[in-house]
Amino acid sequence: MIKVEVAERLRHLPPYLFAEIDRLKREEIKKGADLIDLSIGDPDLPTPGHIINSLKKAAERPENHRYPSYEGMPSFRQAVARWYGERFGVALDPQTEVLSLIGSKEGIGHIPLAFAGPGDVVLYTSPGYPVYPVGALFAGAQGHPLPLLEANGFLPDLEAVPADILKRAKLLFINYPNNPTGATAGEDFFKKVVEFADRHNIIVCHDAAYSEIYYDGRKPASFLQTPGAKEVGIEFHSLSKTYNMTGWRLGFAVGHREVIAGLGKIKTNLDSGVFQAVQEAGITALGTGDAELAGIRQTYQERRDALYAGLTGQGIHVIKPEAAFYLWTRCPKGVFSDSRAFAKHLLEKAGVVATPGVGFGQPGEGYIRFALTVPVERIGEAVSRIGKSL
Distance CA 236, CA 233 (A): 10
Distance CA 193, CA 226 (A): 10
Model pLDDT, residue 266: 97
- Residues 300/213, Cβ–Cβ less than 8 Å: yes
Model pLDDT, residue 310: 97
The 10s digit of each residue's pLDDT in 60-99 is: 999 999 999 989 999 999 999 999 999 999 999 999 999 9
Average pLDDT over residues 366-371: 97
Higher-confidence residue of 322 and 22: namely: 322
Positive or negative torsion for Cα 302, 331, 132, 189: positive
* CA nearest to 41, candidates 320, 323, 278: 323
Model pLDDT, residue 220: 97
**Phi, psi of 164, deg, nearest 5:** -70, -30
Higher-confidence residue of 210 and 12: namely: 210
Q: In a 10 Å sphere around its CB, with 0-12 CB exposed, 13-18 middle and 19+ buried, how is residue 344 labelled? A: middle
- Residues 178/324, Cβ–Cβ less than 8 Å: yes
**Rounded to two decimals, what is the model's pTM?**
0.96
Name the maximum alpha-carbon separation found in the chain: 63
- Residues 135/112, Cβ–Cβ less than 8 Å: yes
Question: Residue 356: which pLDDT band, with cuts at 50, 70 and 90?
Answer: very high
- Residues 382/65, Cβ–Cβ less than 8 Å: no
Question: Residue 335: which pLDDT band, with cuts at 50, 70 and 90?
Answer: confident
Domain 8-46+291-389: give its CATH architecture. Alpha-Beta Complex (3.90)
Q: Do domains 8-46+291-389 and 49-286 have the same CATH topology?
A: no
Higher-confidence residue of 7 and 333: namely: 7
Average pLDDT, the chain: 95
To the nearest whole percent, how much of the chain has pLDDT over 70? 99
Q: Provide the 8-state DSSP code for 281.
A: H
The 10s digit of each residue's pLDDT in 150-183 is: 999 999 999 999 999 999 999 999 999 999 999 9
pLDDT at 54 over 80: yes
pLDDT at 340 over 80: yes
| Domain covering 49-286, topology | Aspartate Aminotransferase; domain 2 (3.40.640)
Model pLDDT, residue 22: 81
Every domain of the chain and the residues it spans:
8-46+291-389, 49-286
The 10s digit of each residue's pLDDT in 255-295 is: 999 999 999 999 999 999 999 999 999 999 999 988 899 99
CA 337 to chain centre: 28
Which region holds residue 242: left if phi is over 0, alpha if psi is between -120 and 50, else beta? alpha
Distance CA 21, CA 143 (A): 24
Model pLDDT, residue 19: 74
The 10s digit of each residue's pLDDT in 10-48 is: 988 877 767 777 888 888 888 888 999 999 889 999 999
Q: What angle do CA 204, 205, 206 make, to 5 degrees?
A: 110
